[in-house]
């Protein structure tokens, strides 16, 4: 029988000692057995250096329906029964975390553990208590460990402590969730975090999984193991079974050629991502591509006219305020540059260091969180009245900015922060007549940076140069 490739197409995992065989043997006591590739991953996850895990973080990326969940179940089973760990299993969807609970619950029953309907201070040997409340599932082993199953939120896990943190559906794991969960294992004497998922698609909301992979490739991740089954570039012939076997380790076991063939009638890019493990940059939906933006970069600073135009945007979440500047070049283009993106708590002094410059011709301020406050402060200081744009004007500014990009009448110096935001954005509807604004595809990129650039550009673009009337005498 032909089988999928058990070896990852890319991995950095090497070890001399492992406790993985203990987990494999315990799993077999349920009369179930892991596939060879799953056993290899369990051994990698549970590799040791002395008394500690070799890999404090371990990532597995493999296409859907290959059996990632059984690897987690085997690790968690060993964790609560023999290692007496406190574990948190998190997922993007409640249905996924519930399925993980059912999987582990079933293993315990098959291994001969007796369920107790009520939690007791002292439970008989080989027994467990299970709370089956949907979304708040919990298992506690007699004289053993504890595991909670949770759906991830931006603040879930704060104040709790665990030995093992499991990130299921890792392609949806966001930076805010990471901030809330990372430190929950910090107090453990031997902590470990496991992330399992698939390559992100154009609708995936997470950025942590991709960032972790990049750090592995760059060789910058410490104490981190990684294994993936992924095609290096887009496959044109998605009906080629050889590709299916190369990047689906469970094909021939729980996956069949017939089932995969049925998937080939869909979108080719989606098949490459979801079945062949293709990693595509998560800015694939960006309405402004890297190539379109990079071609506008200038190698040296252009000669600018005297007048400056400033755009200030208060972020929608009320946390940050961004400021950018624009000026016309002597060859008829508009040069744009971001000055900074700063927390609102830092105050307004840094803003006034720029807007009080006599070369500033116009200032545009947007954002309900601070727009009027800043405008009032400017009036008190005797500065010129800023423009507080209407929704109609914002729509116009966004449209003009887009047109200018494609007409190549904008230029910039190639700032990394601005490039990251602009090349990772998508449109969002504004108003009821087809107007649009922008929103970030990456949670950690603040779209207010781009919005402030657009405001500065717009103020510059709508200002007509007035040529002094020539005086003629006879």
pLDDT digits (tens, 9 = 90+) for 249-307: 999 999 999 999 999 988 888 899 999 999 975 445 678 988 999 999 999 999 999 99
355: its two tokens: 């807007």
229: its two tokens: 């089954």
The β-bridge partners of 146 are: 86, 140
- C-alpha–C-alpha distance, residues 456 and 30, integer Å: 66
- C-alpha–C-alpha distance, residues 423 and 395, integer Å: 20
Strands (E), 267-383: 308-314, 320-328, 334-343, 360-366
* Residue 61, pLDDT score: 98
Query: Which DSSP letter does residue 200 get?
Result: -
- Kindly give the pairing relationship between strand 308-314 and strand 138-141: unpaired
Q: ∠ CA 279-283-287 to the nearest 5 degrees?
A: 140
Considering only CA atoms, which of 216, 223, 221 is closest in space to residue 52? 223
Considering only CA atoms, which of 216, 149, 171 is closest in space to residue 61? 171
308: its two tokens: 């400056």
| Class of residue 305 by CB neighbours under 10 A (exposed 0-12, middle 13-18, buried 19+) | middle
Q: ∠ CA 423-424-429 to the nearest 5 degrees?
A: 110
The β-bridge partners of 365 are: 312
Residue 387 vs residues 305, 374, 438, 464: alpha-carbon distances, Å:
21, 11, 20, 16
* Residue 159, pLDDT score: 64
* Residue 158, pLDDT score: 59
What is the phi-psi region of residue 65: left when phi exceeds 0, alpha when psi lies from -120 to 50, beta otherwise? left
The β-bridge partners of 90 are: 150, 167
pLDDT, tens digit, for every residue of 424-449? 998 888 876 778 899 888 778 899 99
| Whole-structure pTM value | 0.65
Place of tokens 């807007």: 355
**Domains of the chain from N-terminus onward:** 10-274 (3.40.50.300), 290-461 (3.30.420.240)
Please, are residues 433 and 316 in contact by the beta-carbon 8 Å criterion?
no
All residue ranges of the chain with pLDDT < 70 are 119-121, 156-159, 202, 281-285, 432, 465-474
The β-bridge partners of 151 are: 91
Helix 94-110 / helix 68-81 crossing angle, nearest 10 deg: 60
What is the maximum alpha-carbon separation in the chain?
115
* Residue 282, pLDDT score: 45
């Amino acid at each position: 029988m032909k089988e999928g490739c058990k070896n990852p197409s890319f991995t950095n995992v090497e070890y001399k000692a492992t406790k993985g065989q203990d987990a494999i043997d315990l799993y077999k006591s349920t009369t179930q057995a892991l596939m060879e590739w799953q056993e290899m991953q369990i051994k990698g996850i549970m590799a040791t250096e002395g008394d500690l895990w070799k890999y404090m973080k371990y990532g597995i990326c493999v296409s859907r329906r290959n059996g990632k969940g059984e690897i987690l179940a085997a690790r968690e089973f060993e964790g609560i029964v023999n290692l007496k760990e406190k574990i948190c299993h998190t997922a993007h969807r409640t249905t996924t975390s519930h399925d993980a609970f059912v999987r582990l619950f079933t293993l315990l029953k098959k291994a001969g553990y007796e369920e107790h309907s009520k939690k007791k201070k002292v439970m008989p040997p080989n027994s467990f208590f299970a709370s089956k409340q949907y979304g708040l599932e919990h298992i506690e082993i007699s004289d053993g460990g504890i595991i909670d199953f949770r759906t991830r939120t931006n603040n879930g896990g704060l104040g709790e402590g665990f030995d093992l943190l499991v990130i299921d559906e890792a392609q949806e794991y966001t930076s805010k969730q990471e901030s809330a969960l990372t430190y929950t294992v910090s107090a453990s004497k031997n902590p470990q975090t496991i992330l399992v998922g698939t390559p992100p698609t154009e609708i995936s909301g997470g950025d942590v999984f991709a960032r972790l992979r990049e750090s592995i490739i760059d060789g910058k991740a410490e104490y981190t193991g990684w294994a993936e089954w992924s095609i290096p570039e887009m496959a044109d012939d998605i009906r080629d079974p050889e590709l299916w076997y190369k990047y689906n380790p469970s094909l021939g076991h729980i996956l069949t050629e017939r089932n995969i063939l049925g998937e080939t009638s869909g979108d080719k890019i989606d098949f490459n991502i979801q079945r062949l493990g293709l990693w595509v940059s998560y800015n694939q939906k960006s309405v402004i591509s890297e190539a379109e933006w990079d071609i506008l970069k200038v190698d040296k600073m252009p000669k600018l006219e005297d007048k400056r135009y400033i755009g200030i945007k208060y972020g929608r979440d009320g946390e940050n305020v961004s400021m950018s500047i624009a000026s016309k070049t002597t060859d008829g283009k508009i040069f744009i540059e971001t000055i900074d993106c700063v927390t609102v708590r830092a105050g307004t002094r840094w803003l006034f260091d720029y807007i009080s410059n006599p070369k500033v011709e116009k200032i545009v301020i947007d954002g309900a969180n601070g727009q009027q406050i800043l405008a009032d402060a400017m009036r008190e200081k005797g500065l010129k009245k800023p423009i507080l744009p209407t929704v109609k004007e914002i729509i116009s500014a966004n449209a003009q900015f887009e047109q200018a990009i494609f007409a190549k009448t904008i230029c910039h110096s190639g700032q990394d922060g601005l490039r990251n935001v602009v090349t990772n954005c998508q449109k969002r509807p504004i108003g009821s007549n087809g107007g649009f604004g922008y929103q970030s595809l990456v949670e950690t990129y603040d779209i207010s940076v781009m919005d402030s650039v657009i405001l500065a550009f717009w103020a510059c673009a709508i200002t007509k140069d007035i040529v002094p009337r020539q005086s003629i005498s006879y």
